[in-house]
Structure 1
């Protein structure tokens, strides 16, 4: 029996996924979590066969958890299940040696097939993401610059972005100027549009 942990902060999706997976004779969902930190604590203590992780969760993201699993060399195989087709996320997941990366718009039977392939030692990446790795423009922004741009994506003023990232207004303005310069655009809106077009956000 393959023991599986689910970490997804949307409770309805968490429950639905667990029910679907438990319909399989050879799978058992042994725990579900709504945040990355408690999921990581369980994974570290129990080392289930597979951990299916969302990316954006409270306390620790799915990528944070995947990196901890990799650094501690645990036997748990990590599958990222997300709505985000961002090459930056995908690259970070690959660097953490994850076993699978799927988008949530895929049929449920594809997830079941991925779990079985992963348990057989295969690595399964979403074809769209692999294609994006080779066709999209390389992101020239640093991780911190991407954090500033991501925070600005909600349309918040510089002061609100600064408060969210624990930075000064001036520092945020400096980051934004660097972002605009690196991307060769004229303003924040053009920077956001370019980042979205290239699926960096």
Structure 2
């Protein structure tokens, strides 16, 4: 039997995934959580073979949870499942140690097959998303530009962002200016939106 942990903040989706995958003769759902920061504790308690993680969850996103899971329970393989098929997410998921990446509208039989393949140590990636990711390439933002742009989403002033990131106001302005130029945004809010839509933040 393949032991499966499901993490999704939407109870209806989590329940549907659990019901559908639980019908498979070789898959047993051993844990369900609704927050990213509950994933590692649940995995350590239930020892799943595969963790099916949503990307956008409260407490901690699925990408962070995947990286922590790889560190704390390396035998557990991760299959990311998301509503948002953003190319940047795919790249970040693979960097976090995920073995697979599928979108939520994947038919149940294909999803079950993805769980099986990931449990066998294979990589499973939505083909359209893989093509988009290759066409798009890496994020143009540096790590620091991503930090500044991500913090700027809260709408704080330059001084607020500088204080939060322990940077000078001039440095924050430089990083924001560079990020706006690289994303083609009209302003920092637009640049953050573009970067988020591409999965760079």
Q: Which TM-score band (shorter chain)?
A: 0.7 to 0.9
Give the CA deviation at 1:58. Answer: 1.9
Determine the structure 2 residue equivalent to 1:51: 51
The verdict on how the C-alpha distance between 1:7 and 1:196 changes in structure 2, with shifts beyond 3 A counting, is closer
Give the CA deviation at 1:119. Answer: 2.5
Q: CA RMSD in A?
A: 3.1
Correspondence list, 1:33-48, <5 A = 33-48=33-48
Determine the structure 1 residue equivalent to 2:111: 111
The verdict on how the C-alpha distance between 1:188 and 1:137 changes in structure 2, with shifts beyond 3 A counting, is farther
Which structure 1 segments of 5+ residues have no match?
none
How far apart are the structure 2 equivalents of 1:190 and 1:74?
A: 38
Give the CA deviation at 1:196. Answer: 6.5
Would you say the 8 A contact 2:2–2:116 is kept in 1?
Answer: no
How far apart are the structure 1 equivalents of 2:83 and 2:22?
A: 22
Matched positions, count: 198
How far apart are the structure 2 equivalents of 1:14 and 1:57?
A: 12
TM-score (structure 1 length as normaliser):
0.80
How far apart are the structure 1 equivalents of 2:82 and 2:151?
A: 19
The verdict on how the C-alpha distance between 1:73 and 1:112 changes in structure 2, with shifts beyond 3 A counting, is same
Q: Deviations over 1:28-69 (max 9, x none)?
A: 111110112222112124321111011121222211121122
